[in-house]
Structure 1
Amino acid sequence: MDRTRIRVFFKCSAPLIFWLCLLSTFFLGFFWQTSEGHWLNRGISILCETQRLSRNKTDLLDNSPEIELPRMVYTKAHIFKPLRTDVLTVTPWFAPIVWEGSYNLDILNEQFRQKNMTVGLTIFAIKKYVVFLQRFLETAETYFMVGHRVKYYVFTDRPEAVPNVTVKDGREIVPLKVQNYSRWQEISMRRMEIISYFSKQRFINEVGFLVCVDVDMRFNDHVGVEILSELFDTIHPGFYASERKAFTYERRNNSKAFIPQDEGDFYYAGGFFGGTVDKVYQLTKKCHEAIMADKNRSMEAIWQEESHLNKYFVYHKPTKILSPEYLWDNNFGSPQFLKKKRFLAVPKNHAVIRNRRNSHLKC
């Protein structure tokens, strides 16, 4: 009886179900045309536009001007004939250590020219240190980045004292006025703050690499693009053969520059470091923050910013290291492994330069 009723119900309802389905199909089709169809068409348009832009980029790459490279003739490297065997030429983290005879300058120069970059060189000539500028700039013009564009950024409290040294085409001396401080240690530490600030505000828009060096030096031999890398520093000439325990790291554990006895690779000099502008910014910003944190606790690291620099390199390994050729003092003599003395300390009376008032300096 129940089955019969069900059959009768579906037989009578079939026409109604048919018309309901037909009307539903009609309304769905109308909605699709007026709503979903719009988004479908828009999606198709976006896809077409994406394909068009992709084709344009491909065409741009295909039609980019071809760089004419000169033919280069040089001696082939041999796998079983290392260029230097008397010194370490690569670190455990595969960063090259730059020594005379460990690279081909012609190849490096050609690679750098293709980048079409300018190198920035920062120096600080505060108070009496302006006396070193003349020789520094003259020797830099002879030996530093020869054949490439350079901006000499001279930080000084006495812009009028910057000498009028003639520079080659594509090179420029840029005086930048900064504040001086009563203590030379304070001046030294403030370098990190100043380089950090100008890296973000100016250098990032003007140069590709920054080289940060001391001004009381003179260039004595070629210093070129072989030094450039993302982040580099120089092995201190006083510690190139020393064990960790002899390094003058900051050993007080309440300083931000603290390095434990079982950490550290080399002792790096604060007088010659650099890299790409963004990497130098990160380094100097971090060091400045650590210096100020110590200052707020009435602390000063044993070797000021150099101590913080060494701490930074413990955990942020440099991508290239310069041998002591690039920062030497003749008081250390002339060891056999040192084939070049590229950047030399100028003999001076530290007491006169740093502390005493004397208008007739002899350095």
Structure 2
Amino acid sequence: MLRQISRNPILVSLAFVLVIVGRTDVNSVTNWNAPLVWEGTFDPVVIDAIYKRMDPRIAVVVFAVGKYTRFVKGFLESAEKYFFVDFRVTYYIFTDNEKDIPKIELGKNRTISLVTVPSANRWQDVVLGRMKWATITIDKKFTRDRFPYERRPESKAYIPADEGDYYYTAAVWGGYLEEMYKLVKYCYTQSEEDAKNNIEAVWQEESHLNRYLLYNKPTKVLSSEYLWSDYDPVPEDIKVVRISQLVKNYAEVRPNGGQ
């Protein structure tokens, strides 16, 4: 889910037209008329030309806490090859161990800023902390009745059984700074309210994210190409895996053994 589409109505119309043509084997638009982005539904040359004229400053917020620092090198190297090449990019790396963050040669107008955050004893506290400190969605393929939404009415992340559009993961998302601040603040305050009531949403901040996006529709939705797990075979409708979720031993890398 990227909200980087221009607010200029001319550019919005152009970008929308680019998205809705090109493929018939997948849905390329949501039921609220937002583009659903797949390979073959847009012209990357034209899209790049639009955004280069805007010359945006792009911030990437990454959390590398505990043993997850081992994945930073591969992440940065791949981002330097494929992520907004020739744009102004700052990687904000939130970490509890700055000395483990590798030195990577960056392209022109691309920088790294390290932000120190406290360590955590539970991986659940790490993911909830992302909303407290600041954050980097995509829909996964489920039928609505199988979406892993928070179904307990006691939680602030509650979504009724007959509601829901997509399931958005909390792994990769972004947009304009002011819109992201609203989203992050909402998820953090709602998770704090849950904590006061001695309840934790089933998927922590991701559950609150899904409730927020259900009632605050995104202007663009990324397909499964933008986050696919290396654990799973790639289906035919995914032509390009743009972001890969690495195979890892959660029991070893997570602070409380993945429990």
Q: Normalised by the size of structure 1, how large is the TM-score?
A: 0.64
Structure 1 residue corresponding to 2:231, chosen from 317, 328, 331: 331
Q: Which residue is 2:219 aligned to?
A: 319
Q: Which residue is 1:235 aligned to?
A: 139
Runs of 4+ in structure 1 off by over 4 angstroms are: none
CA distance in 2 between partners of 1:178 and 1:318 (Å): 29
Structure 2 residue corresponding to 1:185, chosen from 121, 124, 133: 124
CA distance in 2 between partners of 1:234 and 1:356 (Å): 27
Q: Which residue is 2:73 aligned to?
A: 134
**1:168 maps onto 2:72 in alignment:** no
Percent sequence identity over aligned pairs: 40
Q: Which residue is 1:340 aligned to?
A: 240
Amino acid of the structure 2 residue aligned with 1:253: P
Structure 2 residue corresponding to 1:247, chosen from 147, 152, 157: 147
Q: Unmatched 5+ residue regions in structure 2?
A: 1-16
Matches within 5 A, 1:201-216: 212-213=135-136
**1:153 maps onto 2:92 in alignment:** yes
Amino acid of the structure 2 residue aligned with 1:336: E
How many residues are matched? 240
Deviations 1:88-128, CA, capped at 9 Å, x for gaps:
00111110001001011111111111112111111101111
In structure 2, relative to structure 1, the CA distance for the partners of 1:294 and 1:356 (3 Å cut) is closer
Structure 2 residue corresponding to 1:95, chosen from 18, 25, 34: 34
- Tell me how large the CA RMSD over aligned residues is: 1.6
Amino acid of the structure 2 residue aligned with 1:143: Y
CA distance in 2 between partners of 1:153 and 1:356 (Å): 25
Larger radius of gyration: 1
**1:283 maps onto 2:183 in alignment:** yes
Structure with more relative contact order (C-alpha pairs < 8 Å, separation 6 or more): 2
Q: Normalised by the size of structure 2, how large is the TM-score?
A: 0.89
Kept in 1, the 8 Å contact 2:122–2:256? The answer is no
| Matched position secondary structure for 2:152 | coil
CA distance in 2 between partners of 1:329 and 1:270 (Å): 14
In structure 2, relative to structure 1, the CA distance for the partners of 1:157 and 1:355 (3 Å cut) is closer
Amino acid of the structure 2 residue aligned with 1:309: L
Q: Which residue is 1:256 aligned to?
A: 156
CA distance in 2 between partners of 1:277 and 1:303 (Å): 24
Q: Which residue is 1:33 aligned to?
A: none
| Matched position secondary structure for 1:263 | coil
Structure 2 residue corresponding to 1:124, chosen from 63, 78, 87: 63
Q: Which residue is 2:205 aligned to?
A: 305
Amino acid of the structure 2 residue aligned with 1:325: E
CA distance in 2 between partners of 1:248 and 1:155 (Å): 28
Q: Unmatched 5+ residue regions in structure 1?
A: 1-76, 196-211, 214-232, 358-363
Amino acid of the structure 2 residue aligned with 1:173: I
